[in-house]
């Protein structure tokens, strides 16, 4: 894998609650310059789409807790797609998963996936789940025809681990996100089976790629 191929696995991200329009613009510019993708808040998707028409642009749905009403998550997904998003990172409702309401979790994800013609990644928030719940969450995402599972929003204590990526990769392609801040950490996630890396440190990660 050369540097360009490696960079294409990175979703350069800014999603904090104080994210300014200028922050989203900077991340988009950096993603274009380094050959990465970008993941930004949904409110900035229309401007980002105009700024970089050819960039693979992701945004989030039901972020960061996943406890929105299903209709709100579905409409947020559809709006993001109409605004120009290429991919959606949707937060699973962890409370319902904890409660054993697997049917409700699956039905909600199925409804969201069906509402848009673009890839959907399901954020299962691994730091809040035990091993059995991680398996259930991944199975439910797969049953809902999601395209990826993702480790974390980045807002819970803990983030991506090699062990979680290996578990999740048994079900769907994995986006490893949360606490990945260096080339070495990103490489470890890819080697464990991740297909994408979500990180606010995308520039540093790509710049860490070893020179020949």
> Catalytic positions, please?
89, 150, 175
Distances (CA, A) of 145 to 6, 98, 104, 171: 26, 21, 15, 11
Number of H helices, E strands in the chain: 10, 8
* Distance (Å, whole) CA 6 – CA 148: 18
Sign (positive or negative) of CA dihedral 58, 77, 45, 180: negative
Question: Quick one: which of 19, 22, 144, 121 has its CA closest to 62?
Answer: 121
Buried b (16+ CB within 10 A) or exposed e, 110-149: bebbebbeebbbbbbbbbbbeeebbebbbbbbbebebbbb
Contact in structure between 8 and 29 (CB atoms under 8 Å): no
């Amino acid at each position: 894998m050369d540097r360009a191929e490696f960079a294409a696995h990175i979703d350069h991200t800014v999603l904090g609650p104080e994210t300014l329009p200028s922050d989203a613009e900077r991340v988009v510019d950096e993603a274009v310059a380094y050959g990465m993708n970008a993941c930004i808040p949904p409110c900035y998707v229309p401007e980002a789409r105009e700024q970089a028409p050819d960039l693979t642009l992701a945004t989030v749905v039901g972020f960061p807790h996943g406890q929105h009403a299903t209709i709100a998550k579905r409409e947020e997904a559809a709006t993001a797609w109409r605004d120009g998003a290429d991919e959606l990172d949707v937060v699973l409702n962890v409370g319902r998963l904890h409660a054993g309401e697997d049917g409700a979790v699956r039905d909600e994800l199925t409804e969201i996936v069906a509402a848009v013609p673009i890839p959907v990644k399901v954020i299962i928030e691994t730091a809040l789940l035990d091993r059995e719940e991680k398996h259930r969450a991944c199975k439910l995402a797969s049953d809902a025809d999601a395209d990826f599972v993702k480790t974390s929003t980045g807002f819970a204590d803990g983030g991506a681990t090699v062990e979680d990526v290996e578990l999740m990769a048994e079900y769907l392609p994995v986006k490893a996100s949360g606490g990945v801040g260096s080339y070495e950490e990103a490489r470890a996630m890819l080697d464990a089976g991740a297909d994408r890396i979500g990180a606010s440190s995308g520039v540093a990660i790509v710049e860490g790629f070893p020179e020949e």
